[in-house]
């Protein structure tokens, strides 16, 4: 999240909490439930340069949120149950469904024991190339390149550009700038090409991130054996789907489902779009997911789930448990729907 937007969001959260306004807004904005997004759950690192920190929370914080949810009236349910409630229009209480993207090993190591302890069902959306050890976690490669170098060379539009990144402030600025460029490139091929070149030039082994951080098929199958666990699809190569052709989108969704079925013996019914914001997945992707028969597909558009999402089950919003907001009171406000309601300027559906 960019600086200004982030600060506004944070201020909005604080304001809502201290005013108690979220209690007033709850009946209006709480919807029928919420789907939570997590990436990493792991002990904190000390490094000051952690541009991807918003993608992780600590096990301690995660357990506090889960304990609080267990004590609340919210019903912790699987994505199959979300689908059932939405299609049967049966809402016996407000639901919360916990989801993890990408298939990191820390999901197994740190999050799973907590979810097991409180008997909470959850979904892991697996990018199959990560489990196959050939995926490119390019945002982490970029972080490593910037962290390990004081000067970075990058070819932009055919000419070499150099960036100084000696201290943490410069590193943050350079990371943000290059990240923004990458996201603005027209095609996924250009994005991958630029990152590969950057990684090669600065001797960062991109393939190593999969082996270091992601579950292999053996670990995934251990997890999948637990009835609490749903394995969902998250494409093969984790591309920004809006940057690839329609044919490629279909192949990414369909092939990931087949690979998971071959490896784990179960065909995923649920999908998460990589990156998942409006610039990464839109109506074209929502249509393809529905067409391919996925029961549900989740975005990272912030929001709680309303009855009206029953007609948009492949465009569901989620609420991110964000590493930059690790205080229990933030989670409380977020889950009330008040914060994301403000974020969406009180529009309930964001499906266009
Ligand atoms: Zn992902």
Q: What's the chain's average pLDDT? A: 87
Which band of pLDDT confidence, cut at 50, 70 and 90, is reported for residue 319?
confident
Distance 101 CA to ligand 1 centre (A): 5
24 Rama class: left (phi>0) / alpha (psi -120 to 50) / beta: alpha
Of 122-131, 137-146, 258-267, the range with the lowest mean pLDDT is 137-146
Is 88 buried (19+), middle (13-18) or exposed (0-12) by CB count in 10 A? Answer: exposed
3-state class (DSSP) for residue 149? coil
Tell me the CA–centroid distance for residue 305 and ligand 1, in Å. Answer: 21
pLDDT at residue 237, as a whole number: 96
Give residue 102 CA to ligand 1 midpoint distance, Å. 5
How far, in Å, is the centroid of ligand 1 from the Cα of 272?
8
Residues with Cβ–ion distance below 5 A, ligand 1: 101-102, 274
> In sequence order, what DSSP letters do the residues of 28-92 get, joined into one string?
HH--SEEEEEE-EE-PPP--S--TTGGGEE-HHHHHHHHHHHHHSS-EE--HHHHHHHHHHT--S
Q: Give the pTM.
A: 0.88
- Please determine, for residue 23, whether its predicted confidence score (pLDDT) is greater than 60: no
Q: Which of the 8 DSSP states describes residue 98? A: E
Question: How many angstroms separate the CA atoms of 267 and 259, rounded?
Answer: 9
**pLDDT for 1 beyond 60:** no
Q: Are 174 and 166 in contact (CB under 8 A)?
A: no
Ligand 1 centroid distance, CA of 118 (Å): 25
For 233-267, how does the pLDDT look when each residue is reduced to its tens digit (9 = 90+)? 999 999 999 999 999 999 999 999 999 999 999 99
Residue of higher predicted confidence among 247 and 345: 247
Confidence class for position 28, pLDDT limits 50, 70, 90: very low
Relative to beta strand 151-156, strand 159-164 is antiparallel
Q: Looking up tokens 């933030």, which residue turns up?
A: 330
For residue 234, report the distance from its CA to the centre of ligand 1, in Å. 7
Indicate whether 219 pLDDT > 50: yes
Measured in Å, residue 137 CA sits from the centre of ligand 1 at 9
pLDDT on residue 347: 64
Is residue 133 left, alpha or beta, with left meaning phi > 0 and alpha meaning psi from -120 to 50? left
Tokens 């992780």: give the residue.
Answer: 56
pLDDT exceeds cutoff 80 at 117: yes
Q: What is the length of the chain?
A: 352
Please state which of the ranges 26-35, 97-106, 171-180, 302-311 shows the lowest mean pLDDT.
26-35
Give the model's pLDDT for residue 71: 85
* pLDDT score of 47: 79
* Separation CA 154–CA 336 (nearest Å): 44
Whether 225 contacts 266, CB under 8 Å? no
Query: 348 alpha carbon to ligand 1 midpoint, in Å?
Result: 24
* 318 CB neighbour count, 10 Å cutoff: 24
CB 22 within 8 A of CB 335: no
pLDDT score at 120: 98
Region 282-296: mean pLDDT is 98
Share of the chain above pLDDT 70, in %: 84
Strand partners of residue 57: 41
Ligand 1 centre from 39 Cα, in Å? Answer: 8
Task: Please report how many Cα atoms fall inside a 13 Å half-sphere around the Cα of residue 204, on the Cβ side.
Answer: 24
**Dist. CA 350–CA 290, nearest whole Å:** 17
Among 54-63, 214-223, 247-256, the minimum mean pLDDT is found in 54-63
Alpha-carbon span 282 to 157, nearest angstrom: 28
Give residue 77's pLDDT: 97
- pLDDT 10s digits, 224-240: 999 999 999 999 999 99
CA 247 to CA 233: how far, in whole Å?
A: 17
Ligand 1 centroid from CA 235, angstroms: 9
Residue 37 has pLDDT above 50, yes or no: yes
pLDDT, position 340: 67
pLDDT exceeds cutoff 70 at 50: yes
Q: Which two tokens mark 260?
A: 């998971």
CA 125 to ligand 1 centroid distance, Å: 8
Are 125 and 61 in contact by the 8 Å Cβ rule? The answer is: no
């Amino acid at each position: 999240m960019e600086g200004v937007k982030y600060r506004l969001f944070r201020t909005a959260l604080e304001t809502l909490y201290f005013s108690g306004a979220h209690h007033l807004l709850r009946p209006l904005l709480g919807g029928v439930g919420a789907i939570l997004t997590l990436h990493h759950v792991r002990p904190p690192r000390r490094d000051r340069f952690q541009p991807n920190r918003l993608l992780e929370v600590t096990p301690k914080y995660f357990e506090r949120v889960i304990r609080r949810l267990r004590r609340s009236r919210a019903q912790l349910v699987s994505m199959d149950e979300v689908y059932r409630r939405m299609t049967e229009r049966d809402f016996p209480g407000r639901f919360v469904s916990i989801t993890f993207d990408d298939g990191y090993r820390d999901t197994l190591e740190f999050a799973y024991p907590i979810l097991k302890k409180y008997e909470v069902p959850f979904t892991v959306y697996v990018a199959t190339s990560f489990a196959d050890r050939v995926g490119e976690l390019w945002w982490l490669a970029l972080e490593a390149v910037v962290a390990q170098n004081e000067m970075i060379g990058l070819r932009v539009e055919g000419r070499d550009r150099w960036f100084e990144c000696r201290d943490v402030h410069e590193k943050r600025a350079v990371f943000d700038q290059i990240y923004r460029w990458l996201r603005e490139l027209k095609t996924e091929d250009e994005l991958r090409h630029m990152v590969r070149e950057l990684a090669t030039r600065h001797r960062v082994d991109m393939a190593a991130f999969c082996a270091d951080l992601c579950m292999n098929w053996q670990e995934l199958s251990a997890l999948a054996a637990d009835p609490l666990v749903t394995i969902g699809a998250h494409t093969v190569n984790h591309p920004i789907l809006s940057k690839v052709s329609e044919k490629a989108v279909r192949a990414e969704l369909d092939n990931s489902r087949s690979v998971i079925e071959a490896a784990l013996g179960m065909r995923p019914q649920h999908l998460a779009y990589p990156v998942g914001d409006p610039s990464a997945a839109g109506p074209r992707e929502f249509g393809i997911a529905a067409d391919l028969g996925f029961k549900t597909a989740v975005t990272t558009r912030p929001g709680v789930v309303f009855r009206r999402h029953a007609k948009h089950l492949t465009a569901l919003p989620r609420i991110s448990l964000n590493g930059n907001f690790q205080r229990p009171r933030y989670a409380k406000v977020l889950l009330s729907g008040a914060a994301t309601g403000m974020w969406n300027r009180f529009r309930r559906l964001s499906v266009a």
